[in-house]
Amino acid sequence: MIETRLLVDADNHLGEGPLWDVKEERLYWIDSTAAEIYRCRADGSEVERFFVPHHIGSMALREQGGAVVALANGLHFYDFEKQTVQLIADPESDDPETRFNDGKVDRRGRFIAGTMAYDFDRYEADRGQRSTRSGALYRLDTNGTVTRLDGGISCSNGPCWSPDNRTLYSTDTYDKQMYAYDYNVETGAASNRRVFASARGMAGTFDGATVDAEGFIWSALVFGGRILRYAPDGTLDRVVPFPVRNLTSVMFGGPNLDTLYVTTMGRPMWGIPQKERNKGGLFAVTGLGVRGLPEPRFGG
């Protein structure tokens, strides 16, 4: 039996990026626009909060300790004890209209993260009046080198990989499309982008995503109040209703990797009202009958 429950009443402005670390057995997530990182146990207890100096799009833990954080002003190393950052690179320093958004680590320890038009609300107001395809997808190698993998993206989101490492999935949230790339895990190269699934015609759009141990893709349908599961061939396999309309991302975790953690948004966007009492909270979904895959750490 599927059960969805509020795990932490975090009241996040823009909760994002749930990350279960199998070594620490702790769950991390972020509040993008509040510039905060959270950490707790699998059951939602022992909540800790850390601060970063700018809006944060995503984070990944490092093998050497600390984290890699994708901030509005580039990619940085983060020290949890000192709560300080060290700049690695800012590949879009010449474009104040973009910021880093979602990112994850591949199974060779590289961090893949994309950018988006900075102001989500302004994007909607200006739609059709200016180009917003200024976002891109980047790879941070373990030696600190940054490589641009793709461009022409409005809002890069939801990177995740098939269990065999041959396919990289990534979403353009504004365009309501999920893409698949051929991925070379040995080199980190991504090619042959094609539409994997489309949310056009649906209420809501794709946001954060993860892949389970069976190779099925789970996506948070932001503004749509549902979690979608897609088969590897792109067919819609399952729809899980969700009690909060503006869910933002998903990640399997817990001791058995069978709990789906879900972040949500507490502030309205696109003029869509949010009346749910628990908006901005961290949720846990159990009873789905599947397990996730361990999330790698950044190798640099």
What is the distance between the alpha carbons of residues 165 and 107, in angstroms, rounded to a whole number? Answer: 7
Structure confidence by residue, pLDDT tens digits, 124-181? 434 433 446 789 999 999 999 999 999 999 999 999 999 999 999 999 998 999 999 9
Q: Residue 159: give the domain boundaries.
A: 3-286
CA dihedral over 273, 278, 283, 289, signed as positive or negative: negative
Q: Which of 31, 106, 207, 258 is catalytic?
A: 207
pLDDT at position 71 over 70: yes
In a domain, 296, yes or no: no
Which of 62-71, 203-212, 276-285 is least confident? 276-285
Rounded Cα gap, residues 173 and 205, in angstroms: 6
pLDDT over 90 at 275, yes or no: no
pLDDT of residue 235: 98
Residue 291 falls within a domain, yes or no? no
- Adjacency order of strands within the sheet including 111-117: 98-105, 111-117, 135-140, 146-153
Query: Is residue 29 in some structural domain?
Result: yes
Average pLDDT, the chain: 93
The answer as to whether 19 is a domain residue is yes
- Residue 207 annotated to the active site: yes
Residue 78 in domain: yes
pLDDT of residue 23: 97
Domain presence at residue 299: no
Q: How many CA atoms lie within 13 A of 50 on its CB side?
A: 21
User: Considering the domain boundaries, does residue 125 fall inside one?
Assistant: yes
CATH code for position 197: 2.120.10.30
* Distance in angstroms (rounded) separating the CA atoms of residues 300 and 297: 9
How many structural domains compose the chain? 1
Q: What is the mean pLDDT of residues 194-212?
A: 96
Asked, for residue 146, whether it belongs to a domain, the answer is: yes
